[in-house]
């Protein structure tokens, strides 16, 4: 059972023009992480895609996706703002296709569904699915205050992970070119979601209160450069360390600041390691092999048990050290380079959401690291030193 850091005091930060005390509350991180994971899975199912090639309607279904970088859907809790779910657009990813016969360079994406509804992925269908998600599930997320929001953003700065598709049959495709889909965001106030759940608002009344926006994904050069810094730094780690898996996604929220998200994995001496996915089996087999090699096969089982416990402890210590280094390094990257984010106002935040791939008992599965831009400005002006700035970087572990 993964060790969960159950209760976190969140209230050290504030949102634009809002007093810090407003958001001082105790959050059950285990419950919040559970709710976010459930909602991520629901959104992933709602937006599961099917890809159709141009040659006689061959269907290529995403199904289980391999070679993925970051998660297709990621949720992040921002104290005082609410929860943001970012859903990637499948047309923004690279992909491999496993098929028979001649290939095609033209592909069309559809929702992967057996229902009779129109499966076309376009702006209208995306907006409608987000609205249905908010109506059906938005109010089930606990611990949010009434003035916070639940927001779903589709297509914003998706990662460059690669998807693997396989042929699964035939299906008629629509004519015409694939529609260029803008970035779509739909948000609802928690108070409105609760009123809808209790019957105070009907469906049409709730929809009229939803904030729906579409826009081209505005390019922020300074945010892009900062993302490249994170990518370079987290890939170039020496020895046993957590390294970047996939690429860094980012977005700008006008009433919060810059939000980055990424996945990391534990590498053993620079190699992608499945060590902790099956720790016991791997360590025990290594111990048995070593004892057999020196002619001690007769007492291998007992010695292997002892060696296993010793190695497990050593490897867990190495993992914990690598995790501490990861947190420390990210804090330093934020303090040393976050000052270059000129798009941020002093009362906005730089937040990095990190998902840790794998199942580990002694470290969190997700963490968020954030700092207010004003702290970085104070460092620039010499009003505080580097250590003081590092101490004001807030780490939240789930």
Mean pLDDT per segment of 10 residues, for the chain of length 398 residues? 34 35 62 93 83 46 38 81 85 45 48 56 90 96 94 69 44 48 90 97 96 77 95 87 90 86 79 47 58 55 71 87 96 96 94 89 90 96 97 92
Residues 74 and 157 in one domain: yes
Domain count along the chain: 2
Is residue 95 a part of any domain in this protein? yes
The residue out of 198, 217, 236 marking a domain boundary is 217
DSSP 181: P
Dihedral (Cα; 319, 325, 331, 334), 10-degree rounding: -100
For residues 372 and 257, state if they share a domain.
yes
**pTM (two decimals):** 0.68
Q: Identify whether residues 225 and 210 lie together within a single domain.
A: no
Shared-domain flag, residues 166 and 238: no
For residues 324 and 397, state if they share a domain: yes
- Domain finish residue from 188, 217, 246: 217
Query: Considering the chain, what percentage of its residues have pLDDT values greater than 90?
Result: 41
Per-residue confidence (pLDDT) for residue 113, from 0 to 100: 54
- Per DSSP, the chain holds a count of helices (H) and strands (E) of 9, 18
* One domain, residues 87 and 108: yes
The answer to whether position 66 is within a domain reads: yes
Q: What is the C-alpha to C-alpha distance for residues 303 and 268, in angstroms, rounded to an integer?
A: 25
What are the φ and ψ backbone dihedral angles of 262, each rounded to 5 degrees? -160, 165
Are residues 14 and 72 located together in one domain of the fold? yes
Residue 159, C-beta contacts closer than 8 angstroms, at least 6 positions apart: 69, 70, 88, 93, 246, 247, 248, 249
On whether both 173 and 24 belong to a single domain, the answer is yes
- At residue 238, the pLDDT reads 78
Residue 394 lies in a domain: yes
Asked if 149 and 164 sit in the same domain, the reply is yes
Predicted local confidence at residue 13, as pLDDT? 33
If DSSP codes are grouped into helix, strand and coil, which group holds residue 339? helix
Examine the domain organization and report whether 14 and 84 are in the same domain. yes
Q: What is the DSSP letter of 176?
A: S
Whether residue 303 lies inside any domain: the answer is no
Give dist(CA 147, CA 145) in Å, integer: 6
* Domain stops at, among 189, 217, 245: 217
Does residue 339 lie in a domain region? yes
Neighbouring-strand partners of residue 231:
none
Same-domain status, 229 and 115: no
Over residues 261-297, the pLDDT tens digits come to 999 999 864 444 444 445 555 555 665 566 555 555 5
Residues 268 and 238: their CA atoms lie apart, in Å, by 10
Q: Is residue 290 part of a domain?
A: no
Give the residue numbers spanning the domain of 234.
218-283+316-398
Q: Which of 247, 242, 273 is nearest to 262 (CA)?
A: 247
Taking the C-alpha atoms of residue 368 and residue 353, their distance in angstroms, rounded to an integer, is 4
146 lies in some domain: yes
* Co-location of 194 and 223 in the same domain: no
- Dihedral sign for Cα atoms in the order 151, 155, 161, 163: positive
Task: Give the ranges where the chain is alpha helix by DSSP (H).
Answer: 29-46, 123-137, 190-198, 203-209, 221-235, 279-293, 300-337, 373-380, 386-391
Asked if the structure places residue 309 within a domain, the reply is: no
């Amino acid at each position: 059972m993964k060790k969960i850091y159950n209760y976190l005091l969140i209230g050290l930060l504030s949102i634009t023009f809002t007093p810090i005390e407003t958001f001082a509350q105790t959050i059950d991180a285990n419950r919040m992480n559970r709710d976010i994971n459930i909602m991520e899975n629901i959104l992933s199912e709602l937006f599961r895609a099917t890809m159709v090639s141009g040659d006689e309607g061959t269907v290529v279904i995403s199904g289980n996706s391999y070679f993925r970088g970051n998660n297709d859907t990621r949720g992040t809790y921002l104290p005082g703002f609410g929860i943001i779910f970012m859903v990637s657009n499948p047309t923004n990813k690279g992909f491999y296709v496993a098929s028979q016969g001649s290939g095609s360079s033209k592909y069309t994406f559809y929702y992967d569904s057996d229902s009779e509804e129109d499966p076309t992925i376009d702006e209208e269908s995306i907006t409608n699915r987000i609205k249905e998600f908010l109506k059906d599930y938005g109010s089930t997320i606990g611990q949010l205050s009434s003035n916070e929001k639940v927001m779903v953003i589709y297509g914003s700065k998706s990662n460059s992970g690669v998807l693997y598709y396989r042929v699964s049959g035939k299906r008629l495709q629509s004519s015409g070119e694939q529609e260029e889909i803008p970035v779509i965001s739909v948000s609802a106030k928690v108070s409105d979601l609760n009123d809808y759940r209790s019957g105070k608002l009907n469906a049409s009344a709730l929809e009229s209160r939803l904030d729906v926006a579409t826009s081209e994904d505005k390019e922020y050069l300074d945010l892009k450069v900062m993302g490249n810094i994170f990518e370079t730094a987290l890939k170039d780690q020496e020895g046993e360390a957590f390294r970047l898996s996939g690429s860094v996604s980012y977005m700008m929220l006008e009433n919060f600041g810059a939000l980055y998200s990424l996945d990391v994995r534990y590498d053993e001496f620079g190699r992608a390691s499945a060590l902790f996915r099956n720790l016991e089996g791997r360590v025990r087999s290594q111990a048995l092999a070593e004892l057999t090699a020196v002619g001690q096969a007769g007492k291998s089982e007992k010695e292997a048990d002892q060696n296993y416990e010793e190695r497990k402890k050593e490897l867990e210590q190495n993992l914990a050290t690598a995790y501490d280094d990861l947190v420390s390094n990210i804090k330093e990257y934020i303090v040393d380079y976050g000052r270059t984010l000129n798009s941020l106002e002093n009362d906005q935040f730089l937040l990095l959401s990190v998902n840790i791939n794998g199942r580990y008992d002694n470290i969190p599965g997700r963490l968020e690291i954030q700092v207010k831009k004003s702290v970085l400005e104070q460092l620039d002006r010499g009003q505080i030193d580097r250590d003081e700035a590092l101490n004001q970087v807030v780490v939240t572990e789930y």
